[in-house]
Amino acid sequence: GTVETRWQHKDGSIKNILLSTTPFNGSDSSNGVIFSAIDITERKNNESYLEYLSTHDQLTGVANRSLLYDRLNHALAHAKRDQKMIAVFFLDLDGYKTINDLFGHLVGDQLLIQIANRLSANLREADTVARFGGDEFILVLENINNIEAVKPITEKILKSIAEPYRSNGNLCQVTTSIGISIYPLDGSTTEELINKADSAMYRAKQLGKNQYKFFSLRS
């Protein structure tokens, strides 16, 4: 049969090996097994890269929609079991289109990369940052004890995003409007939580931008 395994090369590197065994019968009635080992490291690296592309946003490197839905579904399963809360943030940048129109898409793309990096730096490793499309991002925060615990995180994100950016020699500044839904207060499915966070984000936009609103708190 065949099996995939990993061997350490004499230079210390790790190689992916396809190991196969084939029994044979010799002309002199002797029996034996032929072992063969094929280095498939490059193929495995290509497969890993293709898998990465299928789950991550190619511009910013954060999760794409596919990985977002997968992680949020898993988070909901754990939250139901452990009786914990989940916070879903829907972010839409304020003023991004103006920067894109003024400086061009190259500057706009570099700005999105920096924003994704700032979002990732302000969250725990277990949390998820995803680019939902265009200048929209979604964050998933797991193991939340109460709504009050979410507020300082949100304020830190607002402050971080509003700090100036230098992109392709240009000094830029944007802010963000954030809508937040909470499991289980605002829904029990991925679609419900994202839609309600989106709705809360639009309320934040209407009330002046550069702020956050909870779906479950109408004030």
**Amino acid at position 3, single letter:** V
Q: State the Cα–Cα distance between residues 28 and 115, nearest whole angstrom.
A: 71
What is the amino acid identity at position 144? I
Residues 50-81 pLDDT 10s: 676 788 898 898 999 999 999 999 999 999 99
Give the pLDDT score at 118.
96
> What residues contact residue 69 under an 8 Å CB cut-off, 6+ apart?
190
Question: Strand 212-214 to strand 175-183: parallel, antiparallel, or no bridges (unpaired)?
Answer: parallel
Catalytic residue (choose from 127, 135, 186, 198): 135
Alpha carbons 142 and 182: distance in angstroms, whole number: 10
Lowest average pLDDT, out of 30-39, 63-72, 125-134, 155-164, goes to 30-39
Contact 217, 109 (CB under 8 A): no
pLDDT tens readout for residues 136-160: 999 999 999 899 999 999 999 999 9
Q: With contact defined as beta carbons under 8 Å apart, do 147 and 159 qualify?
A: no
> Is residue 1 over pLDDT 90?
no
How many residues make up the chain in this entry?
A: 219
Q: Is residue 127 annotated as part of the catalytic site, yes or no? A: no
Task: Tell me which H or E stretch contains 142.
Answer: strand 136-144
Q: Tokens in use for 149?
A: 């615990």
Global pTM?
0.79
Highest mean pLDDT among 16-20, 48-52, 124-128 belongs to 124-128
The owner of tokens 């004030």 is 219
